Structure 1
Amino acid sequence: MFTVTGGEVTFEIDTTQLVNPGITNLVFNSILNTVTTCESLLTGLSFTIEILPRLTLVETNLTIQNVCLGTDVIVQISGATGLADGIYQIIYSIPNANPITGSSGDFTITSGSGQFIIPGTVFPNAGAYVLSINSITSEATPCDNLNPAVSFSFEILPAATITDALVSLSALCANTDGTVSITNATNLSNGLYELTYQITGTITQNQTINVEFINGETSFIIPSTIINNSGEITLSINQINSNAGNACGTPGHTFNSVTLTIENVETPQLVEGGNSFCEDDNATIASLSSGINTNETIIWYDAPSNGNAYADSTVLVDGQIYYAAIQSSTGCESTIRLEVTVFINDCTEIIIPDGFSPNDDGINDFFVIKNIRTLYPNFDLEIFNRYGNILYKGNATSQDWDGTSDKGIQIGGNKLPAGVYFFIINFNDGEREPLQGRVYLSR
């Protein structure tokens, strides 16, 4: 029923009669006056109306990627056949956000797709959130949907905060692995992370590796192929990202840098004759170490690299090769080991070197004739220059000749210049004739 006033009337058609969107024809067949009961048939009276589709969304139309704390959230809409092309606005609510309710602002839907942004500042903490769509309105049509009943869950990921973390690097030896430790990274959850570190200084390197943090701690190896030079380096960690679906990173300035020196320990040197022993000496590895002039620890191996270390009490074997490395106070060893062949001699004869180098380096500084004091305790030794002038005379109680004299040509003080000198050994045993020879003095 409806009332006509001034020739005009308004009436409503029940929505249950208009169930399909699209163009609908409305035809008036008759009109009945309920007071007079007069009825008139109507012919040719009709008009068309358009039933606009209702604005609808479902959960499958929404995609929200997990983002890091402080990052804007992008709500992606796709496959939304219930939204015609046009400009829309959505009112939403997010419990635990600040504020809880917000607006998408105007955004465009084209072929069922579009997006709007929720500012990252509304999320005070990392964690799980639920977006609920409260209403959808269109600027192109009078239609709206005040109860779309759509919600979607997503997560705000925590940043990899490591402000109090401590980076340390053990002493580095050239051509050996180095271990980097990170401790006190208590704000990092347990799991796998991608870490980028940089080395500057005598070595330049930039590497990205995977590490696992457990209770705020991890460690990783810098391989020996990188630590291939000696000198000072600085290690800096530039970035750390979680591999557990969390792209949240942290800048490297929250880590401390570590500066230290890569140590390259020199190869030891053996004194002249330091590899020769008498059978009666029962020489051991410790005896062999005595022939190397250093205050550092000497370790002998059975191979030029890796291999097994000998105990100091190991008895030496004639003709066998031994490999020596200096071990410094930091635990670093010689990069290149000294190869030494041992000779075990029948010490019934003296051994006369053909040269020596009195340069105060602690190695071969004296003209030492091995076994002479044992076999010929009454001997005396005379040293001459090429002009036959005597420069030195000594015996079993004298210090071995050190290349000095108060006679002849000198190079400063009583030091004799480099060159060939001649000797006579008088054995004074009543049997053996004096022995003449030459020796080269090297500076």
Structure 2
Amino acid sequence: MMKLNFNCITFLLFFLFSIALSGQELSLYQQFNGRFDFTFIGNTLNTQENLGILNSPCIINTSSSAQLELQPDDTLEKAYLYWAGSGPGDFNVKLNNIDIVPDRTFNLTETFSGLIFFSAFKDVTEQVISTGNGEYTLSELDLSNIIPNYCPNATNFAGWAIIVVYQNDNLPINQLNVYDGLDYIGGGKLSLSFSLNSLNVIDNIGARIGFVAWEGDSSISVNETLRINGNILSNPPLNPANNAFNGTNSITGSNELFNMDLDIYEIQNFIQPGDQSAEIALTSGQDFVMINAVVTKLNSQVPDATIVIDDYILTCDSREITVDYTVYNLESTNPLPANTPIAIYANDSLIGTIATIDVIEVGESESNSIILQIPNEIPTVFELTFSVDDIGNGTGIVNEINENNNTDVEEISLLLLPEFTILEPIFSCNEGFSIGTFDLTSIENSLLIDFSNTITIHETLSEAETNQNSIINLSNYQANSGTILYIRIENEFCFSITTIELRTKNCPPTVYNFISANEDGFNDFFFIDGLRNIFLNFQIEIYNRWGHLIWKGNQNTEDWRGEVTEEVKWNGAISADGTYFYLLFLNDPDYPKPLQGFLYITR
């Protein structure tokens, strides 16, 4: 007979050219924790075992059937359909006349000959729950036009299988892991090994492992072994130690599952409590076998703590944070003990330790809250990490199903008050009795450091704190000297309040030096703008052209209308038309020297 790589010439060619097949390594697809177990159903589409050039006519079926028989107390949890065969793949099939389109597909290519193989996956849980026990038929898997290229080297095959996971309250608490991919042995590849990770062996009693494999032949057993942790698996007479993949079904006891295997082995003697992985190794000197799925069942009565930061409350200008969190025990098979430690980190610095309060049952949770004070050495933006089953250095005290899912991380940005520049007082000219008109529009540019912030200006602190009654007329705001205004600076979350003082100053007065003392209502007196009610202690003296003092005035006298009040008098008490001179003593520290000038009077 001929088989891929299995006569001397073919084997030598593949060995010399170092041919490899491409595929997908097996990895964990789904995990179940609870009172679960598994079984297989499925069937081949081959009419007999492949015999290569000695084979009968190169034909293959397009459908086949298998029987599901769960017990009355079994409750179906999941049903995963796999189908496979030679060629690039037929991905439109039917299960009990219902169209099936795969959720995922796998492929494997033998590069020397160009022959390719495929597998496909579909979650058919809802359909199997609806149908229940009975006959299942996979149909329209038609490889009739494909297999002529595969029959000469005996690699023509097609088949299907359903991995059935079920729950039963009478079972012990187990952990079921379903791994899948598409890898191979044979075809010039004399060995295959892979790790089954995410195990948690607590008790090895009743431990089992199952394989969904394709293209194994009972008539070929050249150095063919299947090992777990270095121990050869066998189930004689159905699966001899030297011919594990031989077209058999461990559930039905059939040895006519041509070119596929649905085999389950007891492995309680080959694993130990505490194991977190298992090493699977296969050898084959001739037979070409593909592994599509592996299922492990282990007694596993342990919790699985996880934690979630539900919410947090920040306070402006504070390093105090209130954090709400929940500890879960969901994907578990045992309660989580009370007082399970929780470590809290800001970046990588431990800032607190707490613990759960009560026992958390399987599938339950416990919520709580804590107030944290973030140390000053922690930056304002940092990662806050809550780590359950952690005594503060990454070490746990609880044996868990999964030790790698114990943390939750939130990026925290402390709420900072808006920064601002301290303002100098604003000055305005004294308009009388220390009242001035102020332009407040320039405050924003002088005050803000971050111009995405906004400001409002208020007359009282309480109004600034509540953001009420802000000043609207900023360009002409009238106030007494010494008035304090309150400025509210806001960012997205916080506000700051600062003040600014309004001050008046005595600006230089403006002298209008023309008098037409005719009582016509225009320029009837000597007017100095910005003098009265501003320079309260001013004194003014008027001199004639010969330097004689003719009039004196101050805050308490009326403005000069040309009268002569001093000893030098002529023409009664009225000054003549002409030019006069004045001295204005402001008696103000800012103006130590008198202002002087001339004025002209006419009648």
Same fold, TM-score > 0.5, yes or no? no
* TM-score band, normalised by shorter chain: 0.3 to 0.5
More strand by share: 2
Higher RCO (C-alpha under 8 Å, 6+ residues apart): 2
TM-score w.r.t. structure 2 length?
A: 0.30
For normalisation by structure 1, the TM-score amounts to 0.38
